[in-house]
Amino acid sequence: MKITKDMLIGEILSIKPQSIGTLMSFGMGCIMCPASQMESLEEAAMVHGIDPNIILNALNAEEKNAEESVNLTQE
Runs of H (alpha helix) within 1-75: 9-15, 19-25, 41-47, 52-74
Residue 67: the pLDDT is: 53
Mean pLDDT of 45-66: 88
Confidence of residue 73 (pLDDT cuts 50, 70, 90): low
Q: What is the pLDDT of residue 74?
A: 59
Whether 8 and 42 have beta carbons less than 8 Å apart is answered as no
Please report the pLDDT score of residue 29 as a whole number: 78
Quote the pTM value: 0.78
**pLDDT score recorded for residue 64:** 63
- 18-38: buried (b, 16+ CB within 10 Å) or exposed (e) per residue? ebeebbeebebebbeeeebee
